[in-house]
Amino acid sequence: MRLLDWTAVADPAHGLLALMGSDVTEQVATRASSDLLTRLAQQVPGVIYQYHLHPDGRSCFPFASDAMEEIYEVTPAEIREDATPVFGRLHPDDFDGIVASIRRSAETLEPWRHDYRVVLPRQGVRWRTGHARPERLPDGSTLWHGFITDSTAQQLAEQELRQKDAALASAITPIAMGDVRGRVTFCNQAFLTCWGFAEASQVVGHQAVEFFAEPDEAMRVMQVLLRDGTWAGELDGRRADGTTFVVQVGASRFTDRTGQPAGLLASFLDVTEARRLQQQFLQSQKMESVGRLAGGVAHDFNNLLTIMKGHLTLAGLELRPTRPCGRTYRDRRRRGLRRRRSPTSCWPSRASRSSIPACWPSATW
């Protein structure tokens, strides 16, 4: 079936009416295809285009959807014969990379894909991502069919993630991440240094409990963390060489967009030396307390001994040197004076007490 366009031509002078028809089937089909392409292009989040690179270096966009005004802030008509306005929108730092990628795609006929920035009069600096497939034309030129989208939000999000990853990786505090099953998914260099490992592959993929001296205790901590969301305390870590150390742990559970647990994040601090110094300080406090107690006891003994010494001195004045009790008293007194280095050295031993004459406690001297 063909479509004809009829035109009536009247000749009033001779009373004639002529009809002229033309076949417009192809024109209607072309118009319908163009309308369909336009409607489809309006639904695509970006610009659909053709880019034509001539052998002499000239280039243009034979076709571009209306979204070209949003992507490059130029109209399709402005670039239909010359692509220079588009290249004028490219960020200076990305210009050479884009040109090189287009040239490489033209030489190899490999699909073109590139992330780059543009500087637009109204929108400012924005990110764009382009995809296109090239084909070689008979005259040696290259024609790409593709689309370009606004990827600013995605690029900024990825840049933020890269910055966070870099911050975690370079942090001086040991940091590790794991999944909800307790398997390590990330550790920074500080963690490797603290635990004595040379490479992340020695840690990532292993169960977190393997890096602690008491795996059962570490498993209980992980269960509490998954249940409550946070945990802080101390555990005994186990280094690569098998030695143990005291590590202070601060951990939290993080969730995905739906609120479901997605993994665990923990930071660590080696407090072995701090705990050793703390124990030394506590021990010194204990010894100081014992010293104070001993000093008090010695003072009390000295008070008692002073009284006893006074009484014994008075008793010695009454004892006659010729009597046995007088001689025993003076011998014991001389020996006591030689042993005065200790507050209790003057006390007779259990054995010596038995040798005291019966008259010693007697009042008959």
Tell me: the pLDDT tens digits for 216-245?
Answer: 999 999 999 999 999 999 999 999 999 999
Q: State the pLDDT at residue 346.
A: 44
- Whether 255 shows a pLDDT value over 60: the answer reads yes
pLDDT of residue 83: 96
Q: What is the mean pLDDT of residues 82-96?
A: 96
Q: How far apart are CA 323 and CA 105, in angstroms?
A: 129
Top CATH class of 42-169 equals alpha beta
pLDDT at residue number 354: 43
Angstrom distance (rounded) from CA 267 to CA 175: 4
Q: Quick one: CA dihedral 66, 70, 76, 81, positive or negative?
A: negative
Strand-pairing partners, residue 207, are: 183
Domain range annotation of the chain: 42-169, 171-270, 272-305
Taken as a whole, the chain contains a residue count of: 365
Burial bucket for residue 33 (CB in 10 Å: 0-12, 13-18, 19+): exposed
Give the mean pLDDT of 115-132. Answer: 96
In sequence order, the 6+-apart residues with CB closer than 8 A to the CB of 286 are none
Q: Across all residues in the chain, what is the average pLDDT? A: 81
In this structure, of 53-57, 113-117, 235-239, 307-311, the range with the lowest mean pLDDT score is 307-311
**Which residues are CB-contacts of 16 (< 8 A; sequence separation ≥ 6)?**
10
Helices (H), 44-171: 68-71, 84-87, 95-108, 152-170
171-270 shares the fold of 42-169: yes
**pLDDT bracket for residue 7 (50, 70, 90):** low
Question: Regarding predicted confidence, which is higher, 328 or 344?
Answer: 328
Q: Give the helix/strand (H/E) hosting 233.
A: strand 230-238
pLDDT over 70 (residue 315): no
Quick one: pLDDT at residue 277?
A: 79
Q: Which residue has the higher pLDDT, 270 or 354?
A: 270
Mean pLDDT of 86-92: 96
- What's the token pair of residue 214? 């008491």
* Higher per-residue confidence, 17 vs 84: 84
Provide the pLDDT for residue 265. 93
| Contacts with 88 (C-beta within 8 Å, 6 or more apart), sequence order | none
pLDDT at 40: 58
> Is the model more confident about 15 or about 71?
71
Please tell me which residue, 355 or 207, carries the higher pLDDT value.
Answer: 207
| Percent residues over pLDDT 90 in the chain | 54
Q: Is the pLDDT of residue 351 over 90?
A: no
Which tokens sit at 106? Answer: 């033209």
Distances, alpha carbon 27 to alpha carbons 30, 39, 166, 181, in Å: 5, 18, 59, 65
What pLDDT is attached to residue 188? 93
For residue 22, pLDDT over 60 is answered with yes
Q: What is the pLDDT of residue 39?
A: 60
Q: Which two tokens stand for residue 90?
A: 């490219």
Kindly report which listed range (178-187, 272-281, 335-344) carries the lowest average pLDDT score. Answer: 335-344
126: β partners: 118
Q: Output the pLDDT for position 167.
A: 82
- Which pLDDT does position 204 carry in this prediction? 95
pLDDT of 26 reads 65
Residue 171, pLDDT > 70, answer yes
Q: What is the pLDDT of residue 338?
A: 60
175/173 Cα distance (integer angstroms): 6
Q: Mean pLDDT check: name the lowest of 48-62, 153-167, 260-274.
A: 153-167
* pLDDT-wise least confident of 14-23, 62-71, 125-134: 14-23
Q: Which fold has domain 171-270?
A: Beta-Lactamase (3.30.450)
pLDDT at 6 over 80: no
Alpha-carbon span 36 to 147, nearest angstrom: 17
Q: Which two tokens stand for residue 65?
A: 């959807």
User: Once rounded to an integer, what is the mean pLDDT over residues 210-214?
Assistant: 94
* The pLDDT value given to residue 357: 45
Residue 340 exposed, middle or buried by CB count within 10 Å (0-12, 13-18, 19+):
exposed
Q: How far apart are the C-alpha atoms of 216 and 109, rounded to whole Å?
A: 59
Q: For position 161, what pLDDT does the model report? A: 84
pLDDT at 282: 74
pLDDT class for 95, splitting at 50, 70, 90? very high
